[in-house]
């Protein structure tokens, strides 16, 4: 077990190093970074001075070493636009993104499991067919387009919900959150649903497939023969067994929620990390871009690591398979 975890840790570290190399050299490949710091009216001497001050006259390997060393100390550069440390800006906006992603995850479970259960129990009913058609649409519609349509219907035509921003926030353990105020909750609803839609479709399919498979198993037949109520059979025996794959997949999908929040945050002007990234790309604020990339890869590596370790605890075959390969 510990060998497995150690090996996965080393792999994760390797991924981080590879990513740092790609990002660092990628950014150097497309142009001299010194042009980000000089203004057009500077002469050659000034430019050389800036180059020296930034350490850009050093060999590229030395620069890379310096970049890695400062990155390890949490210094990923200072934003050109805000004049503040890039990593600090990202972390400042992280709670908003995490709140959005967690709410979406909650919605995926709250909508996906009952709908999938219904579609699995009554596969031939018209409602089930509508649910499945809806889940196919949920898969194929681009997130940003659904977001725009949600704004059009609920904010512009009906006027029920606000279309942009985060609303009132209150501090929970020093972190501002929206879901504890009514105004914040209203602001949260549309973007979270937009982000959740893809995952709702996924959960519907998983739950439906699991239900249809489990319904013919012996333990269900046995529970029926014992004379248990249908409600108890479905609520306890069936649900318990189909929840395992659903929870595992949702854990894996959490990272993709954070990635897709870039899109949702842009549509709904939600002040999270994703919106910051898009603005940084448009304003060529490179330190923010680099900090975001390093941060998101780190987040992904950590999520994958946790899921892998949990998986190997739940299912010993994974560990054995890894050793055999």
Smallest distance from the beta carbon of 249 to another protein, in angstroms? 13
Interface positions, 119-148, toward another protein (CB under 8 A): 136-137, 139-145, 148
Cα–Cα–Cα angle for 104, 105, 109, rounded to 5 degrees: 115
Does residue number 9 form part of the binding site for another protein (CB under 8 A)? no
The answer to whether 42 touches 36, Cβ cutoff 8 Å, is no
The answer to whether 306 touches 98, Cβ cutoff 8 Å, is no
Name the residue nearer to another protein (CB basis): 25 or 219. Answer: 25
| Binding-site member from 263, 273, 276, 295 for another protein (CB under 8 A) | 263
Segment near another protein (CB under 8 A); pick from 21-29, 87-95, 177-185, 241-249:
21-29
Name the residue nearer to another protein (CB basis): 78 or 266. Answer: 266
- Give the integer Cα–Cα distance in Å for 293 and 288: 8
Does residue number 281 form part of the binding site for another protein (CB under 8 A)? yes
Query: Could you give the C-alpha distances from 308 to 98, 126, 199, 314, in angstroms and in order?
Result: 21, 39, 20, 10
Does residue number 30 form part of the binding site for another protein (CB under 8 A)? yes
Does residue number 262 form part of the binding site for another protein (CB under 8 A)? yes
| Binding-site member from 255, 271, 272, 287 for another protein (CB under 8 A) | 255
- Give the integer Cα–Cα distance in Å for 196 and 201: 9
For residue 171, the SS3 value is: strand
Does residue number 15 form part of the binding site for another protein (CB under 8 A)? yes
The answer to whether 288 touches 276, Cβ cutoff 8 Å, is yes
For residue 172, the SS3 value is: strand
Segment near another protein (CB under 8 A); pick from 123-131, 211-219, 240-248, 258-266:
258-266
- Give the integer Cα–Cα distance in Å for 10 and 25: 23
Does residue number 69 form part of the binding site for another protein (CB under 8 A)? no
Does residue number 260 form part of the binding site for another protein (CB under 8 A)? yes
Q: What share of the chain is helix, strand, coil (3-state, %, to 5)?
A: 75, 0, 20
Does residue number 277 form part of the binding site for another protein (CB under 8 A)? yes
Burial code of 110-121, b = ≥16 C-beta within 10 A, e = fewer? ebbbebbbbbbb
User: Which residues of this protein are in contact with another protein, per CB under 8 A?
Assistant: 15, 23, 26-27, 30, 136-137, 139-145, 148-149, 151-152, 155-156, 163, 255-256, 259-260, 262-263, 266-267, 277-278, 281-282, 289, 293, 296, 300, 304, 325
């Amino acid at each position: 077990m510990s060998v497995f975890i150690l090996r996965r840790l080393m792999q994760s570290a390797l991924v981080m190093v590879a990513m740092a190399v790609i990002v660092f050299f990628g950014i150097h490949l497309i142009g001299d970074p010194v042009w980000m710091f000089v203004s057009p009216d500077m002469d050659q001497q000034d430019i050389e001075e800036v180059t020296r001050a930034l350490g850009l006259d050093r060999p590229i390997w030395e620069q890379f070493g310096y970049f890695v060393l400062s990155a390890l100390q949490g210094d990923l550069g200072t934003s050109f636009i805000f004049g503040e440390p890039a990593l600090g800006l990202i972390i400042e906006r992280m709670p908003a993104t995490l709140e959005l992603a967690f709410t979406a995850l909650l919605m995926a479970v709250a909508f996906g499991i009952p709908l999938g259960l219904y579609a699995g129990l009554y596969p031939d009913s018209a409602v089930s067919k509508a649910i499945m058609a809806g889940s196919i649409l949920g898969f194929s519609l681009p997130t940003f387009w659904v977001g725009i349509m949600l704004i059009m219907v609920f904010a512009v035509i009906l006027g029920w919900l606000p279309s942009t921003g985060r609303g009132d926030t209150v501090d929970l353990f020093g972190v501002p959150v929206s879901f504890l105020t009514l105004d914040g909750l209203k602001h949260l609803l549309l973007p979270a649903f937009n982000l959740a839609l893809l995952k709702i479709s996924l959960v519907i399919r998983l739950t439906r497939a699991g239900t249809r498979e489990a319904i013919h198993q012996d333990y269900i037949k046995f529970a029926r023969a014992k004379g248990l109520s249908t409600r108890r059979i479905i609520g306890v025996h069936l649900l318990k067994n189909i929840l395992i794959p659903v929870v595992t997949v949702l854990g894996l999908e959490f990272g993709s929620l954070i990635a897709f929040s870039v899109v949702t945050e842009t549509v709904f002007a939600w002040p999270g990390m994703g919106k910051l990234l898009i603005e940084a790309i448009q304003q060529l604020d490179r330190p923010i871009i680099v900090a975001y990339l390093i941060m998101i890869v780190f987040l992904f590596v950590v999520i994958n690591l946790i899921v892998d370790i949990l998986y190997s605890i739940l299912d010993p075959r994974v560990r054995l398979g890894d050793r055999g390969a």
